[in-house]
């Protein structure tokens, strides 16, 4: 599936030029970006995850400004993935499982429009896949009430350095222990039950 933003990378067969993997990008918001980053960076086929901001009306947003709720931005992650290893549709399955898309502008104790559930699509193909996946999740996992926005990505702003790889650097932090560790354990249990595959 194309997404309009492709990055060439060496394939699994080596550097002889016979096999190239084409990386694609996805941009997702589902509460605190520390949580989503910790979830998605563990997935096979995901090559990079960056925490940042999207969907706002100001240039060069800061964490303080975004948290004020006045810039219109959502906390998001932007990830690069190899669709030969993990599909965009599979990423969306993990996305639904990793947050509550039925709570408007809220994830647990985090409240505000910056914590909204949102899929920023990079192409018409991603939009179609996101809408189909949302409908499936709405009827299946959640039984209605999904409030996730599906909107085009206009601009992604990388968050400050101290937000990047936050869980990996600070696993002992109380927020990480309370909010992220249980989520990772739950997802690991689900993944083991489902077995390998795209």
Token pair listed for 100: 């509550």
* Active-site residue flag, 32: yes
Q: Strands 110-111 and 106-107: what pairing?
A: antiparallel
Task: Give the C-alpha separation, 73 to 21, whole Å.
Answer: 32
Token pair listed for 198: 């795209």
101 — alpha (psi -120 to 50), left (phi > 0) or beta?
A: alpha
Q: Strands 149-152 and 6-10: what pairing?
A: unpaired
Please check whether the domain covering 6-194 is classified as CATH 3.20.20.70: no
> What is the pLDDT at residue 12?
39
> What is the pLDDT at residue 195?
61
Select which of 32, 35, 67, 176 is catalytic. Answer: 32
What residues does each domain of the chain span? 6-194
**Quick check: 86 pLDDT over 70?**
yes
- Please give the mean pLDDT across all residues of the chain: 88
Distances (CA, A) of 153 to 21, 73, 103, 136, 191: 23, 12, 22, 22, 29
Following CA atoms 171, 28, 162, 107 in sequence, which dihedral angle do they give, to the nearest 10 degrees?
Answer: -60
* Span 108-128, average pLDDT: 97
> What is the pLDDT at residue 143?
87
Render pLDDT for 9-59 as a digit per residue (tens, 0 to 9).
433 334 434 345 699 999 999 999 999 999 999 999 999 999 999 999 999
**Quick check: 112 pLDDT over 50?**
yes
Residue 114 and residue 67 in contact, taking contact as beta carbons nearer than 8 Å: yes
Which is more confidently placed, 96 or 197?
96
* Span 152-179, average pLDDT: 95
**Quick check: 70 pLDDT over 90?**
yes
> What is the pLDDT at residue 190?
75
Which residues are paired to 150 by β-bridges?
119
> What is the pLDDT at residue 21?
65
* Span 124-139, average pLDDT: 97
> What is the pLDDT at residue 173?
93
143 — alpha (psi -120 to 50), left (phi > 0) or beta?
A: left
Token pair listed for 36: 């989503």
**Nearest alpha carbon to residue 146 among 161, 154, 136:** 136
Q: If 0-12 CB within 10 Å is exposed, 13-18 middle and 19+ buried, where does residue 89 land?
A: middle
């Amino acid at each position: 599936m194309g997404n309009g933003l492709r990055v060439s990378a060496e394939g699994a067969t080596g550097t002889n030029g016979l096999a190239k993997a084409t990386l694609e990008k996805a941009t997702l918001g589902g509460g605190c970006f520390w949580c989503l980053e910790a979830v998605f960076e563990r997935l096979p086929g995901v090559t990079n995850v960056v925490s940042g901001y999207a969907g706002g009306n100001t240039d060069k947003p800061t964490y303080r400004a975004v948290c004020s709720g006045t810039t219109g931005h959502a906390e998001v992650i932007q990830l690069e993935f190899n669709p030969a290893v993990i599909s965009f549709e599979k990423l969306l399955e993990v996305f639904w499982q990793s947050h509550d898309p039925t709570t408007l502008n809220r994830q647990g104790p985090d409240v505000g429009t910056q914590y909204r559930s949102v899929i920023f699509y990079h192409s018409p193909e991603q939009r179609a896949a996101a809408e189909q996946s949302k409908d499936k999740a709405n009827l299946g996992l959640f039984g209605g009430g999904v409030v996730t926005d599906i909107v085009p990505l206009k601009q992604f702003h990388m968050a400050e350095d101290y937000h990047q790889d936050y869980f990996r650097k600070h696993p002992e932090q109380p927020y990480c222990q309370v909010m992220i560790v249980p989520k990772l354990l739950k997802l690991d249990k689900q993944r083991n039950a489902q077995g390998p595959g795209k």
